[in-house]
Amino acid sequence: MAAQRAARTNNEADQPSSPVLHFGSDKPLRLDAGTVLSPFQVAYQTYGTLNDARSNAILVCHALTGDQHVANTNPVTGKPGWWEVLIGPGKIIDTSRFFVICANVVGGCLGSTGPASTNPATGRPYGLDLPIITIRDMVRAQLMLVDHFGIEKLFCVLGGSMGGMQVLQWAASYPERVFSALPIATGARHSSQNIAFHEVGRQAVMADPDWHGGKYLDFGRRPGKGLAVARMAAHITYLSEAALHRKFGRNLQDREALTFGFDADFQIESYLRHQGMTFVDRFDANSYLYLTRAMDYFDLAADHGGRLADAFAGTRTRFCLVSFTSDWLFPTGESRSIVHALNAAGASVSFVEIETDRGHDAFLLDEPELFAAINGFIASAARARGLAL
């Protein structure tokens, strides 16, 4: 079963199960690295119907290990979409009212051009020959997709974590194209602690003997052990100590006593090993390197002389920021600094800090307060936009 999922992941890199938009040499993607990516492709999913005025479009931006399958069955795992709890007919983001777009980011591994994609110059996977991708590059590619649909202004752009970074970049780079923005559990730049955790993960991948300098697909191999360790380390940062204690404590895993060895004596050990193994089956190791690097490089204030408020100067976009009390990956202080910058820029902004012990991953879970905040913001923005309720 694991081998079958891995094979499906490899197939999705070039021939995704979702719609794909191809951009030829006449439409290159200009990258922050100083080069261009051409040709390239963007894989995406849409839900609902675009209205005649093209004013009801919502762009959902996915997080580090997410993909375009936000509200449909994932073709690799067979599991429901990662935000089906929020998006669908009659749900908070009602696809009977809104046209929802979600694209696999450039640098990803489920159909948009990434390191597992075939390099047309060589006929082999890009590997590390793919230029470094930034959050701004991802947004540039998304803009080209939005233009393809003839959408002049998105009703809303929303996302959490790395998705929230994309939301902020959209609002800073293309304020005239974004009516409302909903960044969740994110920051305007990656902290040194977050960069440190990512570096541990990258080194785990690159230390795996099956990595082969990033050319593992040429050898028919995958650095599965290294990527699993990277996922295990990262997954700890998505949770909170309180949530871990509540769910696992120091409970033993399928045994009465300690084994005095290095098997998974504790439930938390077994859980992390499971997380690592299942992740390897659905995600490309080089994509993990590229996307973590994109997050590390993100620093919105640095692009504006160190003044975050200048990133939003003159904006007319409506903002709502959401943070979680137990999120230590992107603590509430990160959101507050963005709110202060938006206030300094004279922007329309609201802010909600949600009390929960579920940590960073709370934005992906069934959190009633989160849903209430999103629902209230979307409804208010829809009235202001003139969209019928």
Catalytic residues: 161, 327, 360
Mark 289-323 as b/e (b = at least 16 C-beta within 10 Å).
bbbbbbbbbbebbebbeeebbbbbeebebbbbbbb
Q: Enumerate residues 6+ apart whose C-beta is below 8 A from 355.
A: 325, 369
Six-digit token string for 158: 């929303």
Q: Is the peptide bond before 39 cis (omega within 30 degrees of 0)?
A: yes
Could you give the CA distance from residue 205 to residue 213 in angstroms, rounded to a whole number?
Answer: 10
Amino acid at 337: S
Supply 293's token pair.
């690097």
CA distance between the termini of the chain: 45
* 201: nearest Cα among 124, 279, 141: 279
Are 198 and 205 spatial neighbours (Cβ–Cβ below 8 Å)?
no
State the burial class of residue 252 (Cβ atoms within 10 Å of its Cβ: 0-12, 13-18, 19+). middle
Bridge partners (DSSP) of residue 88 are 94
Strand partners, 319: 181, 349
Q: Six-digit token pair at 270?
A: 């077994």
Is 222 known to sit in a ligand binding site?
no
Is 30 labelled as part of a ligand binding site? Answer: no
